[in-house]
Structure 1
């Protein structure tokens, strides 16, 4: 049985999730960067993120990095068009982080809108497929000699600007998840083994009280 304190922490996390904010990793290929991005996503309330991989070896790294957090879900794809179609169906603005000329300052974007942030690989940068489907390219202003930041650092900077804007608008003060999905996810995180058994049996999840006890 789950402890009341742990149950409250899980519930608090889900109450602050932002289902209309996500990240797409475009062929990001280093496991430590994948893990760092996943942690940043969890911190700002992102529960689901996406990764596109064109190389089998990188796909394996992404799959391994998915275990960096049991609190987020990493969806893996082999092509950008598939994830872009999914995001477009959810009416998300697609923002591609780039260092090319003509990009908008990342602080001048409205992140309170449904938003998907696309970040590129360390070796190859943003792909043409990612750029082609973007609603806007954004950049972090740079005044030194280096041309770009580490992908996980850049992602964190942009996500915390999104968090700042959403906090100012009160988007962390009320439940953003669909209530049915909230209660389903809460039960599955509180009772992972039991939830698997109930799904296999086709049995609905029981209700939980405020302490996480099964009613």
Structure 2
């Protein structure tokens, strides 16, 4: 049985990464996406919420996301939170999904050795700085993709696809 996955995009800068993640999430059947911090987001009217941004910014950012999402931004339900803390508090009050961080950390579990729970939230963080220690402390587990080359990390959208596929298909 496929796990029920909520994907959290926190402080991701690139509209192209956000679009690629929406497209991957749609293809792999992710239940919903949570967007927080300064992560760019599509037009909120897609989800029947007023968009506080200036119309020309909404149009520009939505077009940039669409360039890689190719319509998936209109297919995958998403929510936007000003801060990750707002979602974390709501999660504790309502569903208390286990939160799995995708991050290189001293206590991380190698992704191939990790068994995903039946429902969880996968937290993705900043392209350069990753997930803060404060947010890692609130996670149930931290998983890491093994690296075999000389680079220190994968692009966040690529890492997201690799992690989701492994967690769904094992």
**TM-score calculated relative to the size of structure 1:** 0.60
Counterpart CA distance in 1 for 2:6 and 2:80 is 14
Aligned residue for 1:62, secondary structure, equals: coil
Per-residue deviation, 1:93: 1.4
Per-residue deviation, 1:113: 1.9
Q: Spell out, residue by residue over 1:180-204, the C-alpha distance to the aligned partner (whole angstroms, 9 max, x if none).
A: xxxxxxxxxxxxxxxxxxxxxxxxx
| Structure 1 gap segments, 5+ residues each | 1-15, 166-215
Give the greater-gyration-radius structure (CA).
1
Q: Spell out, residue by residue over 1:31-72, the C-alpha distance to the aligned partner (whole angstroms, 9 max, x if none).
A: 01001111111111113111111x4xx4xx323338842211
Counterpart CA distance in 1 for 2:2 and 2:33 is 12
Counterpart of 2:162 in structure 1 is 157
Counterpart CA distance in 1 for 2:10 and 2:107 is 20
Contact 2:2 2:168 in 1 (8 A): no
Counterpart of 1:71 in structure 2 is 75
Moved more, 129-138 or 64-73: 64-73
Contact 1:98 1:139 in 2 (8 A): yes
Counterpart of 1:62 in structure 2 is 41
Contact 1:105 1:139 in 2 (8 A): yes
Counterpart of 1:84 in structure 2 is 88
| Structure 2 gap segments, 5+ residues each | 43-61
Per-residue deviation, 1:100: 2.2
Per-residue deviation, 1:112: 4.2
Aligned residues: 144
Counterpart of 1:49 in structure 2 is 33
Alignment partner for residue 134 of structure 1, among 117, 139, 142?
139
Counterpart CA distance in 1 for 2:17 and 2:2 is 22
Moved over 6 A (4+): none
Counterpart CA distance in 2 for 1:17 and 1:147 is 30
Contact 2:2 2:118 in 1 (8 A): no
Counterpart CA distance in 2 for 1:45 and 1:86 is 23
**TM-score calculated relative to the size of structure 2:** 0.75
The structure with more helix, counted as a fraction of residues: 1
Structure 1 residues 100 and 107: alpha-carbon distance in aligned structure 2, compared to 1, 3 A threshold: same
